[in-house]
Structures are given as structure tokens and as C-alpha cells.
Chains A and B, each alone.
Chain A
Amino acid sequence: MWLENGLSWMKDTMTQAVIEAKGLNLVFQTADGPVHALKDVNLTINPGEFVSFIGPSGCGKTTFLRAIAALEHPTSGTLTVNGMTPDEARRKRAYGYVFQAAGLYPWRTIAGNIRLPLEIMGFSKAEMDQRVERVLDLVELSGFGKKFPWQLSGGMQQRASIARALAFDADILLMDEPFGALDEIVRDRLNEETLKLWARTGKTIGFVTHSIPEAVYLSTKIVVMSPRPGRITDIIESPLPKERPLEIRDSREFIEIAHRVREGLRAGHLDE
């Protein structure tokens, strides 16, 4: 009975929000007293959206992403992922997470690294091999499966870590400044590839960044945040089309959105 109710309720929510935060607060207890990392955050993310979180350091954007992934635990308010608590969603393997550094295990080959989450989740050997091949292809690393991480460039390592997050086909991809440590040219290329990947897979993506052009270029929704306490100051629905060549960054629309993001960031700073 309880299970049936739960299932029908889940079906309802599946078609609705993927991630929903209501009145979310998160306070860290530190030696210098409590730090209000997130204050009264309300946000709804729908299936297939590409949502960027932008703001200066300390604004809680990474904390919010980590809270979605159940790596941090909110102090008050509600946060649901696919209608479940973040912890339940984590155990259901609802998301892939990409960190700022690739974080590949040096004792495993690229293919071995991508296979790791699959091993943990108990996929069959044939299924693992097939999935590894597929995601390597998806991030254009076919043929590099037998290399070790330290034999590849930083950009390739980061692509491998994205492949690893994609391997088990979670509906949600959470990316925490995945390209922050890479140079401009590699970054442009990976941004383009990320958009293509998103178009091909239809996943819901949460993306933390410092860069205004990156946020505007990638997102369907831009969440502008400000620090002390970490809070949302603006949510911008992007009018840009889904198909985005790199040149779109010179268009008037693009520049207008970037302007609005910058204003939002500045307003957040003036509040202090």
C-alpha cells in the first residue's frame, strides 16, 4: 500500500520537476562560528534543462550542487531529486558528478576508470565493455581506453571524467566548474562538445561556473548567486535557441543576457 502510493506519487513527480528546492538553508558550523552557506534558496529545475550557477566564490553555488548530490546536508527547508530525498536519489544512482579536477584513479586505465562506477553498480562484463566503448566515443576518446590518466592532457582527462559520469546513464549530470582549470581554447571546444552531448542525451544538467560567457553560452537557465549569506539574486531564462554555434557569443541577445548576469552579480556585491 505504502509502496503503491509512493510509486504513483513518483510517477506524478517524474513528469514535473527534476530538482526542487524550497526555503533551503544550509549552515556550516566552523571554528569561527556558523557560516550561512545557503539562505532561503527556492529553485525548480525541469527535465532536460541546462542550468548554470554563477557567482563569486563563497556564494554557495558548489554547496548547492553538493547538496543536490547528498554530499552536503541542508539545515532546513526541502530539497527533492526526482521526487526523492537527495540521499535516496544518490542510492538510486540518479546523477553523475563531474568535479573541477578529473579525479581519475592513476592505477586504472581510462577504460578502467570509466568501468569503475559500473563495477560498483554491478553491471555485467559485456554490458560494461559496451558502455565504456559508447561513452568513450561520445567524448571523442575512442582508442585511448588503454592509456593511463597521467599519459593524457588535462583536457582529455576531463573528457574522460565526463565519460565516467555518463557511463551509467543517470538522468542528471552535475558539473562543478569542470573546465575551470583548462585554458581558453580547450575550454571553448569542451563547451561546444558539452552542448552537443546535452542535445544528444537530453539529460538535465546542473553546471557551476565562474565565467559569464560560459554560463550564457551553455544554459537554458542561469541562476545568479551572491555570497554571505549564499543566496539566489536572479534567475534568467535564456531566450537563445537550442542550436548554438560559438559565433552566437557575438550576437546582441547574447550580450544582453551577459549584461543582465553581470548586473545581477554586481547587485549581489552592493548588498554587502
Chain B
Amino acid sequence: MTDVNLTLVLTSAGLIGCGVYLLLERSLSRVLVGLLMMGNGVSLAFLVAGGPGGAAPITVEGVDEPMSDPLPQAMVLTAIVIMLATTSFVLAMAYRSWQLTGHDDVQDDVEDAMIRRMAATDATSEAFSAASDDPDEVEESSDFAEGELVDGRGDEPGGGQDLGADVAAEHEREETRP
């Protein structure tokens, strides 16, 4: 059982809450500000998780007062630096987006919109259409393509075309029969 520092908890939660609100915005620079504040909030949350504060975690000979927990601090240090990297990258993205489109709003994904349209119109996916059976398919009754011959010179007269059409027509009859 440990007593928890309420101030740190509230500050951390407040920062994260504001961060979330901004994170859900469309404008990348607001998202960025949100990320910054969330990052700070999370750093504080780590402090809380590390237990009560104390002296700096630097050993000094002869002094033996309670120290703050160094492990979460090391993690937060890493997190701070990573936040810097993230910030720079999002910033560059916002700038590039502004260069290209004149604003820095996050756009919806075009592919996803296409899938949504497909769902609305009851269409099948391209992959399915490519793999599915087509009832109008002409059935073949030879392994060998038309004209392809024993000696490979292609001197066979005629071919399977009439037959193919015939079989297809029959197939169709079968399909349309009640």
C-alpha cells in the first residue's frame, strides 16, 4: 500500500485528456500539439508509477536518504527523446502536406472509400471476380490449344471453336432451366 500523489495524477490525466481531444482533430498541427501534451502526461504517469519522490538517484558516499526510483526515470528519458523524433517527423509531414495541398488536414484513405462504395453497391472484389467461376465460360475438350499439334506445326484444320460454342450453349440451357 502506497500513498499516491494526487496532484501528479490529476496533471497527468488532464494533459492526456487534452491530448486525446486534439489527437482526434483533422489538422496535423493540432494532432502534433496533442501528441506533445500527451507525451508530457505519459511522462508524469511514469513518475506516479515509480512511487514517491525523493533525492536524485545519484549515489553519494555517506549520504543515505531515500531516492526516487531510477528505473521509470530511465524509461521516461527514452520516451522524451522518442517524442522529439515523433514530433519532428509529424511536423515534417504537416509541412509537406501544406506544400502539396495548401492545408495540413489528414485525408481519408481513398482505397477504403472505394471498398465502402463496393459494399454499398453489393459488388464483389476484384480478386474474387478473377478467381470465380463464370457460367459463360467456354468449356474446352482438349488439353491442346486450337491448332496446336502433334508436331507443333499447327497444320490441323478447323478447331474446337464450334464445339466450344455448342457446349457453352448447352451449359447455358442447363443454367436457365427452372
A binds B: no
Q: Which residues of A does B touch, CB under 8 Å?
A: none
